[in-house]
Amino acid sequence: MSFLRNGLQIRVDGCLPPASWIDLVMHPFKLLFSLLFMMLPQWITAQEAATVDTLVIGTKITAPFVLEHEDGSIHGLSIDLWRSIAWDLGTQYEMRMYDDIPALVAAVKREEVDMAVAALSITDERERDLDFTVPFYVAALQIATRKESGGPLATLKRFFSLQFIQAVGALFMIIFVFGFLMWLLERRRNPDQFGKGWYGLGAGFWWSAVTMTTVGYGDKAPVTWLGRGLAIIWMFLALIIFSGLTAAITSALTVDQLSVHVNGPDQLKDVDVGTVEGSNTVDYLAERRIRPILYATPDDALAALEEGRIEAVVYDGPILQHLLHNGQYNDLKLLPNQLQQYYYGIALPPGSVLRDTLSVHVLQKMAAPEWKDWIFKYMGRHGE
């Protein structure tokens, strides 16, 4: 039922008899008092939610939005934002850590926590089950790949890799072992060639090295049956070792030339791509018929990229940017291409009375000067 007065239509939902409503319309003060009285329950509910003793905040470690100090305390872009809002509201809260995003989303949906403050992107699927504040960060999927290297310094760097140095060290150890064994077997019967002390050890090492390289100068030769038997074993074994070492060196020098350097999204279909399991990136790549290699964390994916096991990593741009900005992966770079935009927000249970209040405070914080400082602190660039 509705009434019209001075061009203003007032709708009535049957709370009072029509006669009473006519009386209220004729007396504005009574109308104002009645409206305030009807709004009182909603106002009380909102105040109770805002003044609850302790809010439970769910989160998950995801740099640079949520980072963990050595003492177990946390910080990050999302955490700094929430702490500033909580300070303004005078709200007490406790943090509850979750191992992965699906568990955090489920906790919000079941109302185990009052909200989730993390690196939680707003998607259609999540919007069906949760409420979100206005976005506090706009980002995009990006591609991390290896830097292109060339020239003599790059060649030397590939040549003297850790794996190569380890292989050479193991080879010298084997040469020394066989030289030592030959000295033990020959030093009594063949003192002229394998004498006592350091001289004899050096002679054994020399014999082992020239035998392995198939040079065989002939200045050192065993005379005992055991010594000759050891020499035969070492000759055949050295052939295998030397062939393997040659192959390893060749591989180290040519692997970079054979690798495909990814310069844009069009090349992703032709190379091995890595991403983080359970992330929205998996769906993005699947829609483009790209089957990625899944890793537990962004660090695992970037480590595989640096080692040459994959050619690119596709993941959240801010997270990749933070990891590369901190100097953990000096041989990697982030391409400027933005594949798909998405938004981060604070997630709340459906129908939460806190959403509007938090949204207002999020907008206020984003307009404040310290927001740009936080962006520069955690993202390595000035806020926009």
- Judge if 328 and 359 occupy the same domain: no
pLDDT at 150: 54
- Judge if 337 and 349 occupy the same domain: no
- Judge if 97 and 165 occupy the same domain: no
Q: Indicate whether 365 belongs to any domain.
A: yes
User: Please, which residues have CB within 8 angstroms of residue 227's CB and are 6 or more apart in sequence?
Assistant: 182, 185, 186, 189, 190
Q: Indicate whether 249 belongs to any domain.
A: no
Q: Indicate whether 256 belongs to any domain.
A: no
In order, the DSSP letters of 206-262 are HHHHHHHTT---SSS---SHHHHHHHHHHHHHHHHHHHHHHHHHHHHHHHHHHSPPP
- Judge if 307 and 350 occupy the same domain: no
Q: Indicate whether 245 belongs to any domain.
A: no
pLDDT at 28 over 60: no
User: Please, which residues have CB within 8 angstroms of residue 259's CB and are 6 or more apart in sequence?
Assistant: 146, 308, 311
Q: Indicate whether 240 belongs to any domain.
A: no
pTM more than 0.85: no
Q: Indicate whether 112 belongs to any domain.
A: yes
End-of-domain residue from the set 215, 233, 251: 233
Q: What is the pLDDT of residues 302-340, one digit of tens each?
A: 999 988 899 999 999 888 988 887 767 888 998 988 888
pLDDT at 149 over 70: no
How many domains, the chain? 4
Bond into 336 cis (ω within 30): no
Average pLDDT over residues 129-136: 94
Q: Please, is 77 exposed, middle or buried when counting C-beta atoms within 10 Å of its C-beta (0-12, 13-18, 19+)?
A: buried
- Judge if 219 and 189 occupy the same domain: yes
CATH of residue 295: 3.40.190.10
Instruction: Indicate the length of the chain as a whole number.
Output: 384
Q: Indicate whether 199 belongs to any domain.
A: yes
Q: Indicate whether 80 belongs to any domain.
A: yes
Q: 364: which 2 tokens? A: 């206020």
Strands of the chain (E only): list them: 2-5, 8-11, 55-59, 67-68, 74-75, 93-97, 115-116, 131-132, 137-146, 273-276, 293-295, 312-316, 332-334, 341-344, 347-348
CATH of residue 205: 1.10.287.70
8 A C-beta contact, residue 301 and residue 295: yes
Q: Confidence band (pLDDT; 50, 70, 90) for 111?
A: very high
Q: Please, is 29 exposed, middle or buried when counting C-beta atoms within 10 Å of its C-beta (0-12, 13-18, 19+)?
A: exposed
Residue 201's domain spans which residues? Answer: 153-233
